[in-house]
Structure 1
């Protein structure tokens, strides 16, 4: 669309006056809001096509791990057959979790927040604002009844959805109080509904990592705890300055908070002489935190040379070698260096169970679940046989079609492992670490270490190398 507008036929936006540009921007924003609203309608209709009855009519018997009904919105909204969400996520280019949230918001709005839903369809409330309300009413604690959700709906619709997070929390708290949803608490003030929702939290925003290797932390503390923490950070910053640090005050307070995370939590145990093991200086060891950092290594003569940048497995983020050196400089940090694993080697075993050495190789190769757009870390996934392992092959004297070998193994989170086992989704490994998936509706997706992308239907399929997996024949392990 941008290229078309800039083309000679359209004259390009360069030829528009200031007033025309403002009008164009307004029209584009209106079109964007309308498209987002229609996507919610489509998501709700997709749920309508996949009710729980579609599971029971398609399955002659219940198999452990097979599809079940999914409550993805609040009480009073319809249930959905869970596996349909993966197909929707695929065509939208999002994870199954994001598709589940989209459908959940659509059902919550249509069935429990009908006034707000009508405003969205009329273009008076943008879809993103309505989805914020739906997210809050779906996950309220305790859960909102349809009547309580209706109360929130009426209040929000009266102001055309223009409520901030704090106002929304107060509305939900008032609904909980008004409809007697919270369990009785003798210590609670019955006149204060807002305080029945505890606002305290500590959130580390790990989705936005600064190029300098920092993360943002946000917290809501008890007043006494906040004052104590402020004093501790001020003392820690002063100590660092006295020890020669020339960093600005904010950086020293940040470093002091990191010191608290490593040592402060165990001071009571140290005073009592119980609990955790001691260092040589008698202080308790810091709480153990395991991070997996991967660096490419080479050789210069007999010396091992590491690349300047690597990958942190837990957050799937870039990590600098200098950062790791700084961590290791702390005498209370334990560092373990594991042997180099060749990701291109073809390992195999005659057994069905995947040994640790092969599992580690597959985890490092795949990094995440290999289903399109899934970001679950591979270390917490199942290792799946791409081509089904035949447990009767050896006993019947037949060659094993699905061996436990590097070329036939992939990391799948438990949900997508179940999806592959019990539905018509299929996939194959076209080259090491590269997978092509085909959905029940015939959509094809490619997943490699750079991410996921749809496969152009006009493109010819990859040359056959690894045969496609066979359809599952029942509740066998895979």
Structure 2
């Protein structure tokens, strides 16, 4: 019965008994675990097939805020050719970074956590649990030696991978002490030989914009600073309520944090006696609030540059904007009323960008891009146009799809790669280098629509809706199952 359910349709579910459902879903979960384990084997084998020519061509992770890079796996694991990672990611429908993690986890488990690797393939430990351990040992600070990683492996394997994140953190800390890995750290405490780790940070996730127009902020502060901030936020929230705000406490606390960031006090809120929220009603009111007779003429506390795109139509002599648009940062839906409130809130300087026709064919006579063409390409592509890449276009390079010939004019031949809208695309730095120095090729088939071909002949279409695989090459018959090491 269970084997016959591989193509189970919605109507056929009605024929299953409760016992059949439990057996079927259990078998599907077991098949999923086996497939995840096989993916690790194949990812490691893919790495074996692509050793780097030199250490400078090895795949690695860039560390935000630092000048160094972390290896794809820990000490003792083989290096991997940098550009091979992208093709594995596109076949799986994941980003290059996610594919890099998959390969790194596979190599970390096979070479530095062999007990856990065997437990994954015997079915005792699910792949996701083993990958969580591998992620921790790869990016441990300070880095774990092969011997130290082996100790972690023995401890985790003894409990069949059943270890939570807090327990894993304590195990790593104990391992670093046990193997004196922190003694070379100039900030180490000489009394106990333990490294001093400063956990303080403030992180704003600018790439994930909520549909409500908010961003996630996470921070780790000094105890005294955190208590002071809590009191200040609570005070500002209370002032807002006293001035008539109808927002919830959480919303008022969040708004207070923004006011603190602009170094405003509650005094300038009294300039408008109509209530705190009334100041967000219109842009004109926000502009006149800085010159209100009841308060001083203060400089702008906030400068707003919002890249939002709205459909517009002309009715008579008036331009009418649609009620919804798209935020460029985060590719999220935004309401026109939201933009009005952001611009109207507080003493705000508003910068308006000129409208650009994304369908126009713009041309430059040289290799360098004028600002107007650069802006058009960024607005058209939105992100890096490589399959499954989501890096925002504003952080990308502008690539000539067909390479620009710098010697064409001097030698009297036509320019094969003009600086023109239909020959330009946004590529993040890694995928720009990939296109330039590897066998990956692409072309623009329509404005904002690109077709990519990988070194092994896999084809993908990339447009505003995402990435679509196109007629992949047929797999050779009788592919042998890779040997597990």
> Normalised by the size of structure 2, how large is the TM-score?
0.82
Counterpart for residue 147 of structure 1:
147
Give the alignment partner of residue 361 of structure 2, picking from 340, 346, 350.
346
Please say if residues 77 and 107 of structure 1, whose CA atoms lie closer than 8 Å, have aligned partners that are also in contact: yes
Q: What is the distance in 1 between the residues matched to 2:447 and 2:391?
A: 19
The CA deviation string for residues 75-94 of structure 1, in whole angstroms up to 9 with x for no partner, is: 11110010101111111111
Spell out the pairing of 1:284-323 with structure 2 (5 A cutoff).
Answer: 286=301, 290-323=305-338
Please say if residues 173 and 196 of structure 1, whose CA atoms lie closer than 8 Å, have aligned partners that are also in contact: no
Please say if residues 299 and 347 of structure 2, whose CA atoms lie closer than 8 Å, have aligned partners that are also in contact: no
CA RMSD of aligned residues (A): 2.8
1:241 aligns with 2:244: no
The more displaced of 427-436 and 255-264 is 255-264
Q: What is the distance in 2 between the residues matched to 1:389 and 1:170?
A: 55
Give the unaligned 5+ runs of structure 1: 57-65, 266-278, 459-478
Q: What is the distance in 2 between the residues matched to 1:166 and 1:157?
A: 17
The more displaced of 299-308 and 131-140 is 299-308
Q: What is the distance in 2 between the residues matched to 1:344 and 1:2?
A: 49
Q: What is the distance in 1 between the residues matched to 2:118 and 2:58?
A: 31
The CA deviation string for residues 29-82 of structure 1, in whole angstroms up to 9 with x for no partner, is: 1111111111011100000000124x79xxxxxxxxx95565311111110010
Helix, strand or coil for the counterpart of 1:445? Answer: strand
CA-CA distance at 1:321 after TM superposition: 1.4
Spell out the pairing of 1:42-441 with structure 2 (5 A cutoff).
Answer: 42-53=42-53, 67-68=57-58, 70=60, 71-182=71-182, 183-184=184-185, 188=189, 190-191=191-192, 196-204=196-204, 210-263=210-263, 281=296, 286=301, 290-441=305-456
Q: What is the distance in 2 between the residues matched to 1:440 and 1:352?
A: 28
Q: What is the distance in 2 between the residues matched to 1:38 and 1:94?
A: 17
CA-CA distance at 1:338 after TM superposition: 1.4
CA-CA distance at 1:206 after TM superposition: 5.9
Counterpart for residue 451 of structure 1:
466
CA-CA distance at 1:374 after TM superposition: 1.0
1:305–1:117 Cα change, 3 Å = same
Q: What is the distance in 1 between the residues matched to 2:463 and 2:76?
A: 40
Helix, strand or coil for the counterpart of 1:396? Answer: coil
Counterpart for residue 5 of structure 1:
8
Give the unaligned 5+ runs of structure 2: 61-70, 266-289, 474-485
Please say if residues 296 and 310 of structure 1, whose CA atoms lie closer than 8 Å, have aligned partners that are also in contact: yes
Counterpart for residue 31 of structure 1:
31
CA-CA distance at 1:204 after TM superposition: 4.4
> Normalised by the size of structure 1, how large is the TM-score?
0.83
Please say if residues 349 and 405 of structure 1, whose CA atoms lie closer than 8 Å, have aligned partners that are also in contact: yes
Q: What is the distance in 2 between the residues matched to 1:338 and 1:252?
A: 31
The CA deviation string for residues 439-476 of structure 1, in whole angstroms up to 9 with x for no partner, is: 11000000011111101259xxxxxxxxxxxxxxxxxx
CA-CA distance at 1:26 after TM superposition: 1.3
Helix, strand or coil for the counterpart of 1:440? Answer: coil
Please say if residues 263 and 284 of structure 1, whose CA atoms lie closer than 8 Å, have aligned partners that are also in contact: no
1:283–1:130 Cα change, 3 Å = farther
Helix, strand or coil for the counterpart of 2:119? Answer: helix
Please say if residues 67 and 422 of structure 1, whose CA atoms lie closer than 8 Å, have aligned partners that are also in contact: no
Please say if residues 208 and 330 of structure 2, whose CA atoms lie closer than 8 Å, have aligned partners that are also in contact: no
Counterpart for residue 282 of structure 2:
none
Q: What is the distance in 1 between the residues matched to 2:472 and 2:129?
A: 36
Q: What is the distance in 2 between the residues matched to 1:422 and 1:95?
A: 19
CA-CA distance at 1:202 after TM superposition: 4.0
Q: What is the distance in 1 between the residues matched to 2:381 and 2:387?
A: 12
Q: What is the distance in 1 between the residues matched to 2:390 and 2:122?
A: 35
1:206–1:2 Cα change, 3 Å = farther
CA-CA distance at 1:176 after TM superposition: 1.8
CA-CA distance at 1:216 after TM superposition: 4.2
CA-CA distance at 1:324 after TM superposition: 1.1
